């Protein structure tokens, strides 16, 4: 049982709602959907109608006006039952960020309520086949033609590709380098916006990931988010928030794995007593519990800085780095606790292990997080 310190009674009620939905809607379905590799669209609709797809955004546009400190704990709870869903909520929240933060009042009034209302799912198209970490070198190009931009290029590793209702497309409208990048909001119905075959991923199999090819895709100029040339700044700002989302997902996954292997260790007997009573195993679980709590504390500290309007980029990098490395360790050791049973799909820890790895890669690899932190120390 996680002891949570929440700021308001409303936050307590929201976390309780998230827990109820996770138990009733996520936990019973995860194994079947992961086995089939099927995107759980109805689950996202359920979460959306409960208000969980727009938590950190303003109420006037259909959001929940919830502090990041609270939103991340909701994500954590979802991730402890079904990581693909929690990661999908985090990606959708990321996909709403450019419009919510940099869009005009007219753009927000026209689009944001539908994005936050629960019926739509978004995608964030930044990475490309030639470069993921080096986002400033992207090659997808948009050329202004009258009242539209004509876009050509290929985006890679796009979560919700083929399922999303809208795509944030980061593309080059100017010269090489970060100052030549812009952000366009493209409906899924855009002619020439072509999701490709899904990647065959090690984990998160119910979360579609694929390339998105743009072939003379014509996107209305009125869908430019911010000014021309502001795209890289928008992308990096969004990723600071997105990294907190992934950190929360990692904490939830670690907590789910810890809860499962601890319960197993209490019930499994060897030499006439529960294996948790053996010091070697008990101390291991104590270390895993401590590291999971530390990851949660680091993540929430960064979220509270964000909520207070203070700089949080470096703390978000620390949280993403530590929480995802912790999830990898906890899920690895959870298999060891179960022994041979941990290696088979009868128990979920083998899935937790496969899922944890991707969290060290998405929203900036952990090597990039170390680079962000090291540069802050060098200044």
Domain spans, the chain = 9-116, 122-231, 233-378
Residue among 176, 158, 169, 179 nearest 232 (CA): 179
The CATH architecture assigned to 122-231 reads Beta Barrel (2.40)
Asked if 169 and 148 touch (Cβ cutoff 8 Å), the reply is no
What dihedral do alpha carbons 161, 364, 113, 306 form, nearest 10°?
Answer: 170
* Catalytic pick among 25, 34, 333, 363: 363
**Pairing outcome for strands 181-187 and 273-274:** unpaired
Asked if 288 and 265 touch (Cβ cutoff 8 Å), the reply is no
Task: Domain 9-116: state its class.
Answer: mainly alpha
DSSP string, 59-120: GGGT-----HHHHHHHHHHHHHH-HHHHHHHHHHHHHHHHHHHHS-HHHIIIIIHHHHSSS-
Q: What is the pLDDT along the chain (379 residues), one digit of tens a residue?
A: 789 999 999 999 999 999 999 999 999 999 999 999 999 999 999 999 999 999 999 999 889 999 999 999 999 999 999 999 999 999 999 999 999 999 999 999 999 988 998 789 999 999 999 877 788 889 999 999 999 999 999 999 999 999 999 999 999 999 999 999 999 999 999 999 999 999 999 999 999 999 999 999 999 999 999 999 999 999 999 999 999 999 999 999 999 999 999 999 999 999 999 999 999 999 999 999 999 999 999 999 999 999 999 999 999 999 999 999 999 999 999 999 999 999 999 999 999 999 999 999 999 999 999 999 999 999 8
What dihedral do alpha carbons 283, 289, 292, 298 form, nearest 10°?
Answer: -90
Please compute, for residue 175, the number of CA atoms within 13 A of its CA located in the half-sphere on the CB side. Answer: 1
Task: Domain 233-378: state its class.
Answer: mainly alpha
363 given a catalytic annotation: yes
Residue among 248, 275, 290, 296 nearest 341 (CA): 275
Phi/psi of residue 155, nearest 5 degrees: -105, 150
Distance CA 115, CA 275 (A): 49
């Amino acid at each position: 049982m996680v002891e949570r310190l929440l700021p308001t009674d409303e936050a307590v009620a929201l976390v309780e709602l998230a827990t109820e939905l996770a138990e009733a809607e996520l936990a019973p379905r995860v194994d079947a959907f992961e086995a089939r590799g099927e995107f759980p669209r109805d689950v996202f609709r359920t979460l959306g109608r409960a208000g969980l797809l727009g938590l950190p955004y303003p109420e006037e546009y259909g959001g929940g006006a919830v502090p990041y400190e609270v939103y991340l704990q909701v994500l954590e709870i979802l991730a402890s039952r079904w990581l693909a869903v929690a990661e999908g909520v985090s990606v959708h929240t990321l996909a709403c960020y450019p419009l919510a933060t940099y869009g005009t009042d007219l753009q927000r009034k026209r689009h944001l309520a539908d994005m936050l209302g629960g019926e739509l799912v978004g995608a964030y198209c930044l990475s490309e086949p030639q470069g993921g970490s080096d986002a400033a070198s992207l090659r997808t190009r948009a050329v202004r033609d009258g009242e539209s931009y004509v876009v050509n290029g290929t985006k890679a590793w796009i979560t919700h590709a083929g399922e999303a209702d809208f795509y944030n497309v980061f593309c080059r409208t100017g010269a090489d380098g970060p100052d030549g990048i812009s952000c366009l909001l493209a409906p899924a119905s855009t002619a020439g916006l072509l999701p490709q075959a899904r990647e065959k991923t090690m984990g998160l199999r119910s979360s579609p990931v694929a390339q998105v090819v743009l072939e003379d895709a014509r996107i209305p100029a009125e869908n430019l988010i911010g000014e021309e040339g502001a795209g890289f700044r928008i992308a990096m700002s969004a990723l600071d928030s997105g990294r907190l989302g992934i950190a929360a997902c990692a904490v939830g996954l670690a907590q789910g794995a810890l809860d499962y292997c601890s319960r197993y260790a209490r019930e499994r007997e060897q030499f006439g007593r529960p294996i948790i009573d053996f010091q070697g195993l008990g101390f291991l679980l104590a270390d895993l519990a401590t590291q999971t709590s530390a990851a949660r504390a680091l993540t929430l500290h960064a979220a509270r800085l964000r909520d207070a309007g203070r700089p949080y980029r470096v703390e978000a990098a620390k949280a993403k780095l530590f929480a995802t490395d912790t999830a990898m360790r906890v899920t690895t050791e959870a298999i060891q606790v179960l022994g041979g049973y941990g290696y088979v799909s009868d128990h979920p820890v083998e899935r937790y292990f496969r899922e944890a790895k991707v969290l060290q890669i998405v929203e900036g690899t952990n090597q990039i997080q170390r680079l962000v932190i090291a540069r802050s120390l060098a200044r």
